[in-house]
Structure 1
Amino acid sequence: MRYLYVLTILFFFISCASETGDDRAAEIHTVENGLLPGILVEGESIPRYSMEERMEKYNVPGAGIAVVSDGKLRWARAYGVANTQTGQPVDTATLFQAGSISKPIAALAALQLWEEGKVDLDADVNTYLKDWKVPQSAYTDSARVTLRLLLTHSAGMTVHGFPGYKQTDRFPDIVTVLEGRGNTDPIVVDTVPGSLWRYSGGGYTVMEKVVEDVSGMPLETYMDKNILPQLGMHHSTYQQPLGSPFTDNASAAYDRDGELIDGLWNNYPEQAAAGLWTTPSDLAAYCIAIQEILSGERNGPISQQTAQAMLTKHLGDWGLGPALQKEGDSLLFGHGGKNAGFTNNMLATAHQGRAVIVMTNADQGGNLMGEAIRAVSDYYGWGFSKPRTVQLIEMAADSLAVLAGNYVLDFPVPGIGEYRIFVEPRDGNLFVKDPNNGEENLLSPMDSLKFVDVEKGENVRFSVVGDTLEMTWNGRYRFLRMGQHP
């Protein structure tokens, strides 16, 4: 009887485990075959796509997804290949370059030093900087650059992002980057600190220098010792250039046509801004750690009080590292990431134990990423990201022609300089060609000045300011028309 009892209990647990596994497999199958576009046209049926077909469409060789539910890693899944030369597949231990997702995790170093009383978030950072200082100018006479302003992209500092360095390039040190002797401009203050929000990878490079000068350690060493292990990020590193043993599990990078980038990937001396190598599961561990620290369930590299400060909105709805959305119990934190040949996103609730991370090894991964996040949100009913239903109108060719021309972004782009795109009418829509990266968009009219790319989810608004026709892309990038005809 005792033998039969033991067998019964054993069978019960095996059955439960099998049932749980089947349930999880069904969840994954539904999500990965339920990808949703960002835009739905009123009156049309809702399309659903599989990961495989959308990876093929967007020239994405490899991708990874991690989902957190009820404060735990619910599932992680890998797709495609990490290296088309060797045939190495993506698995859940494959490292991707995180791009700007590096920033909120590197920010924990500055917050930890603040908690330890080694820095003041509101003091002039030149107090802590040693062999390089923020250049003084008329803009810094009335307000100083501080860590709080650097972390929230409101210090008035230049250089939006970094193109990286090829394997054959000379790899500069951080002072070389700060002084503009690498492949980007000098990092300086060009507006009054604290007066506006403007994304600045340059500002995070200054923050990195503060951490290194105060701690006496290179950033990757500080993160390896004090931050990453405490978060449970055991397959991550800020090492640049990447060395052994990480290279064995690193994904190669692919351009928008799905072609391998020379040297497999670029290197980024701007480690805090763009230098993290990690996995979707490790980023899930970061999200879980922040959620648990915030709720008081665990200790970590920062305290509950510091986590609360980190997730407090400043200018531009930005926290001390993460971007923030919504309020109260619905508060979301996260960050996107874009390096050459890598495109990623991370989004998590502060209080509800939920998160989704998508990482891709391709320049066109953003389209796939958005569709995957919408699929996860739709399946679990989270409301993270929902398709938007639009109503389109018909416009006459001469009305569309009024908006045609060549447009220039209102700030120079590192490695490119003047960023110019071309707009022309085509079959009742506006066709946009970006010669800088080869991207093309077909914009359908919602009214005479508002347009949408139904396929890619891009939103564009035209306006006349003085004598200049302006085009605002996704509410963020402002282009000025410089000529009537492209």
Structure 2
Amino acid sequence: MSTLIRVAYIMALLPLPAAAQQALPTPSKIAAVERGLTPAVVLSGMPAPRRTIEAEMRRLNVPGVSVAVLHGGVVDWSKGYGVTRAGGTPITPVTLFQAGSISKAITALAALRLVQQQRLTLDGDVNVQLRGWKLPTPPGEHVTLRELLLHTAGTTVHGFPGYASGVVVPSVDDVLAGRVPANTKPVVVDTKPGTIWRYSGGGYTVIQKLIGDVTGRPFAHVLRDEVLHPAGMMRSIFAQPLDAVSLTTAAWPHDGAGKPVPGGPHTYPELAAAGLWSTPTDLLRYAIAVRDSARGKKHTILEQPVATEMLTPGKGGWGLGLEVHPTPADRAFAHGGSNEGYENFLVAYTGSGDGVAVMTNGAQGGELGSEITRSVAAAYGWPSYHSIERASIPIPAATRAQLIGDYAIPELGSFSITGDGSGLAISLKEGVSEPLYASAPDTYFILSTDLLLRVGRREPKITGQFVMGSFEWPFVKDTDIKP
């Protein structure tokens, strides 16, 4: 199961105060970041382990990672580590990666540009501007662009697996209709719009069609002209698949064991949700454009009032296309991205102008990206993104035996709990497990991310919730594994 843990990595904002630190020369800060990786959670009474980027790349089977750091509103440094693939070229600051769902943040900026130009309406019925295919909605209801951007439209389809090399790729209309050769269900509205927050790649695919319909131009061209080039993201492109020449030097995707994804990068016709190729430096240029707009600078992509709306958190702590976290001293905006064999993260502050973008070509890169983010936070004295402490208690033998088994999370996947000596281990990704600790008789945690497992009912089947901040995902025990 990967979807839940990916969400955990992109939403793990830990707003703990950080002591002010004296400015260091850039080489010293780079070294501090490279040697200062810590887990999301540390055990009370135990020193926080300090790890290096290279050691964590080996442990997590991530062949390559690229990092760019923003300081005071300008890119302070960027650096690549590892290789694009076995026998491939070294990762450099200009190596392209699939950005995954960070594509949504770029799409949101383009959609708001079109709202500013009065070509899209933020609060009108999207079906009025959609041509051909219409978004199926409950009788008497309608969906707005604002709701799609906020993930409150009630649209289905959480994310997209992409299409492996050699597989027929559907059109966007096929994807929206859930029609062969699409490999996902139809995008529909199954809850009252505006009532709940639920992440939906399907909703952003509606936005993709909407942008194409109102402009009469290919989505990729609109994004290039409205966002990528104005923001200076000259190496970024919405292209699925990437052209053969660029692909020779791009980062190749790898699974959790570090093995190349067969056939290379998956193809994502869902460009708005997952179709961007980019670099960390280009992602920071996007962050600079958003920050400059919010601060009312001249000649920016958005006018200040529109940018303010974009960065105003609503349900779930999300703004219009970005996760937004006000802190006592600053405001952070962020987005994560996960495609098959790629894991990425972007965060920046509107006040200080600090931030970081991390892109990896390994399925366990989400954990690495979180560790690097915390290391940057410590080196630059950020007000958030720091490890937290939790106390653990022993797990009784009877409870241990009862919890061992396979579990299902509706619409998100599955996970398993196994014995680990006298304790327990949990596997949230295929072939990858880590210790599971107890903080209370019915509450369990891991160290790689700030995620709690709360057991509710134990008979006739164990049920409970994964809890992360204000979000909960129910689970149920499925098939027992013999200890």
Q: How does 1:253-402 map to 2 (within 5 A)?
A: 253-327=253-327, 329-402=329-402
Give CA deviations for 1:258-304 in whole Å, capped at 9, x if unaligned: 01112221110000000010000001111111111111223222211
SS of residue in 2 equivalent to 1:296: coil
Matched residue, 1:59: 61
Deviation of 1:480 after TM superposition, in Å, equals 1.5
Do structure 1's residue 98 and structure 2's residue 96 form an aligned pair? Answer: no
Give CA deviations for 1:182-219 in whole Å, capped at 9, x if unaligned: 01111111111111110000000001100000011111
Matched residue, 1:125: 126
Give structure 2 stretches of 5+ with no counterpart: 1-23
Output the amino acid matched with 1:451: Y
Q: Distance in 2 between matches of 1:244 and 1:473?
A: 42
TM-score, normalised with respect to structure 2: 0.90
Q: Is the 8 A contact 1:102 1:274 kept in 2?
A: yes
Matched residue, 2:436: 443
- CA 420–297 in structure 1, closer or farther in 2 if over 3 Å, else same: closer
Q: Distance in 2 between matches of 1:168 and 1:100?
A: 23
Give CA deviations for 1:215-243 in whole Å, capped at 9, x if unaligned: 11111110112211111111100111111
- CA 467–316 in structure 1, closer or farther in 2 if over 3 Å, else same: farther
Deviation of 1:465 after TM superposition, in Å, equals 8.9
Q: Distance in 1 between matches of 2:248 and 2:258?
A: 21
- CA 424–244 in structure 1, closer or farther in 2 if over 3 Å, else same: closer
Deviation of 1:451 after TM superposition, in Å, equals 1.3
Query: Which deviates more, 57-66 or 295-304?
Result: 295-304
Overall identity of the aligned pairs, in %: 37
Deviation of 1:482 after TM superposition, in Å, equals 3.4
Matched residue, 2:462: 469
Identify the structure with bigger relative contact order (alpha carbons < 8 Å, sequence gap 6+): 2
Output the amino acid matched with 1:57: R
Q: How does 1:65-76 map to 2 (within 5 A)?
A: 65-76=67-78
Deviation of 1:467 after TM superposition, in Å, equals 6.2
Output the amino acid matched with 2:134: K
Deviation of 1:65 after TM superposition, in Å, equals 0.8
Deviation of 1:328 after TM superposition, in Å, equals 7.0
Q: Is the 8 A contact 1:397 1:425 kept in 2?
A: no
Matched residue, 2:195: 195
Matched residue, 1:481: 477
Matched residue, 1:423: 417
Matched residue, 1:12: none
Root-mean-square deviation (CA, aligned residues, Å) is 2.0
Output the amino acid matched with 2:218: P
Larger radius of gyration: 1
- CA 404–431 in structure 1, closer or farther in 2 if over 3 Å, else same: same
Deviation of 1:423 after TM superposition, in Å, equals 2.4
Matched residue, 2:8: none
Matched residue, 1:416: none
Deviation of 1:376 after TM superposition, in Å, equals 0.5
Deviation of 1:393 after TM superposition, in Å, equals 0.9
Deviation of 1:248 after TM superposition, in Å, equals 4.3
Q: Distance in 2 between matches of 1:458 and 1:286?
A: 29
Query: Which deviates more, 321-330 or 146-155?
Result: 321-330
Matched residue, 1:109: 110
Q: How does 1:226-241 map to 2 (within 5 A)?
A: 226-241=226-241
Q: Is the 8 A contact 2:454 2:465 kept in 1?
A: yes
SS of residue in 2 equivalent to 1:25: helix
Q: Distance in 1 between matches of 2:323 and 2:383?
A: 17
Q: Distance in 2 between matches of 1:328 and 1:237?
A: 36
Output the amino acid matched with 1:276: L
- CA 219–466 in structure 1, closer or farther in 2 if over 3 Å, else same: farther
Q: Distance in 2 between matches of 1:466 and 1:213?
A: 52
Matched residue, 1:409: 409
Deviation of 1:400 after TM superposition, in Å, equals 2.5
Q: Distance in 1 between matches of 2:328 and 2:142?
A: 31
Q: Distance in 1 between matches of 2:433 and 2:360?
A: 20
- CA 441–464 in structure 1, closer or farther in 2 if over 3 Å, else same: same
Give CA deviations for 1:314-366 in whole Å, capped at 9, x if unaligned: 21111110011125752111101100000011111122211111110110101
TM-score, normalised with respect to structure 1: 0.89
Give CA deviations for 1:111-163 in whole Å, capped at 9, x if unaligned: 11111111211111110110211124xx2x24311101100111111100000
Deviation of 1:369 after TM superposition, in Å, equals 1.0
Matched residue, 2:35: 33
- CA 458–328 in structure 1, closer or farther in 2 if over 3 Å, else same: closer
- CA 305–456 in structure 1, closer or farther in 2 if over 3 Å, else same: closer
**Number of residue-to-residue matches in the alignment:** 455
Give structure 1 stretches of 5+ with no counterpart: 1-21, 414-418
Q: Is the 8 A contact 1:143 1:194 kept in 2?
A: no
Q: Is the 8 A contact 1:429 1:445 kept in 2?
A: no
Give CA deviations for 1:376-427 in whole Å, capped at 9, x if unaligned: 101111033111111111121012233333321122x5xxxxx333324433
SS of residue in 2 equivalent to 1:89: coil
